[in-house]
Amino acid sequence: MGTMSQEQLGVTMTAAAAVEVRKFMAAENVAPESGGLRVAVQPGGCSGFKYNLVIEDKPAEDDTIVAQDGFNVFVDPFSMQYLGGVTIDFVSSMQGSGFTFKNPNATGGCGCGSSFTA
């Protein structure tokens, strides 16, 4: 189980997104020392893959752990290959608020911003 920097993994989390993750972790009483945010890529969504964010209290054995500002990000080996260069942001708009993913490697996407084609 290795720890990587954001640059090594290639996942960037904006300050706005980090603030929201810390709020969710506090709401679920997850300790930032051991717990964190799982960023996963799963088959599905309207373009072939979709992103999934889950607060977890500890990493899995084969996760890569990326230290963020005040918490850890856990990434499984399958998701790792799809997350290079992705920026995770949190936006609030009249349509609602939520996390968005900007993936420079995606060849196709859809309007929801949470699924992509690789």
Overall CATH class of domain 3-104: mainly beta
Q: Provide CB contacts within 8 A for 53, sequence distance 6+.
A: 37, 38, 39, 40, 88, 99
User: How confident is the model at residue 68, as a pLDDT?
Assistant: 85
Predicted local confidence at residue 3, as pLDDT: 64
Question: Domain coordinates of the chain in residue numbers?
Answer: 3-104
Query: Whole-model pTM?
Result: 0.80
pLDDT at 31: 93
The token duo for 100 is 């968005």
Distance in angstroms (rounded) separating the CA atoms of residues 32 and 85? 24
Q: For residue 65, with 0-12 CB atoms within 10 Å meaning exposed, 13-18 middle and 19 or more buried, which class applies?
A: middle
How confident is the prediction along the chain (118 residues), in pLDDT tens digits per residue?
Answer: 556 655 566 788 999 999 999 999 999 999 999 999 999 998 886 778 889 999 999 999 999 998 888 899 999 999 998 888 899 999 998 888 999 998 877 766 655 555 565 5
CA 8 to chain CA mean position, Å: 15
